[in-house]
Amino acid sequence: MDNNNELKDESVEPLNQSKHITGNVIVAGKGEGEVIATDVPLSFWGGYNSETGDIIDHHHPLYGENLTGKVFVLPGGRGSCTGSMVLLQAIYSNNSPGAIILKQIDEIISLGAIVADEIFKMKLPIIALNEPDFALAQKASYIKVNEYGKVFINH
C-alpha cells in the first residue's frame, strides 16, 4: 500500500503541529522567526536602532535585544510619528523584525511598513490580534505569518 494514500484522522492534531489563528492584516506579507515578546509599548524613535536592530531604550524591559529577523510581539507603539521613519530605515537596511504582531492597530508602526512596501516593495508583515490570541502569541517561541493574516504559533 502506498503510504501517501493511508487514511489520516484529521481531527487529531499532532503534538508538533502549530496552532493557527487569524488576525487583522495591517500590512500583508510573509514572515517568520523566533519570538521576542513584551507587554510594554515601544517607541521606535529613540528606542530602536535601525542600523543594528537593537532596542536601545534603557527603560524598556527588552533593552539590548536584537529584533532583526525575529517576530516582535508587542501591544503597540509609544510616542513620536518619527518612529515610522526609523522602522522604514530598518526595513530598508534589512535590520527590521521579520514580522510584527500587535494587540491593537498602531498607525505609526504601520506607516513605516506601508511606505516600505509602496516605495521599495519591501514587506514587513504587521498583524493585529484580539486580546486572547495576542496572549497566545506572547507565549510562543516561534511564529510564522502569511499574507492572509494567518498566524501559526509554536510553543
Mean predicted confidence (pLDDT) in 64-75: 98
Q: Is residue 143 part of a domain?
A: yes
Is residue 18 very low, low, confident or very high in pLDDT (cuts 50, 70, 90)? confident
Catalytic residue at 80?
Answer: yes
Q: Is residue 45 part of a domain?
A: yes
Q: How many domains in the chain?
A: 1
Q: Is residue 12 part of a domain?
A: no
For the chain, what is the mean pLDDT? 90
Mean predicted confidence (pLDDT) in 69-87: 94
CA–CA distance, 78 with 94 (Å, rounded to integer):
23
> Given this model, what pLDDT does residue 17 score?
61
Residue that wins the pLDDT comparison between 15 and 18: 18
Give me the domain span that covers residue 60. 18-154
Q: Is residue 4 part of a domain?
A: no
Give backbone dihedrals phi and psi of 126, rounded to 5 degrees, phi first.
Answer: -130, 125
Q: Is residue 6 part of a domain?
A: no
Q: Is residue 114 part of a domain?
A: yes
Catalytic residue among 11, 50, 80, 84: 80
> Given this model, what pLDDT does residue 9 score?
38
> Can you give the three-state secondary structure of 98-155, one letter per residue?
CEEEECCCCHHHHHHHHHHHHHHCCCCCEEECCHHHHHHHHCCCEEEECCCCEEEEEC
Q: What is the CATH number of the domain that holds 48?
A: 3.50.30.10
Residue 54: CB atoms within 10 A of its CB come to 18
Q: Is residue 9 part of a domain?
A: no
Q: Is residue 126 part of a domain?
A: yes
Q: What is the pTM of this model?
A: 0.88
Is residue 16 very low, low, confident or very high in pLDDT (cuts 50, 70, 90)? low
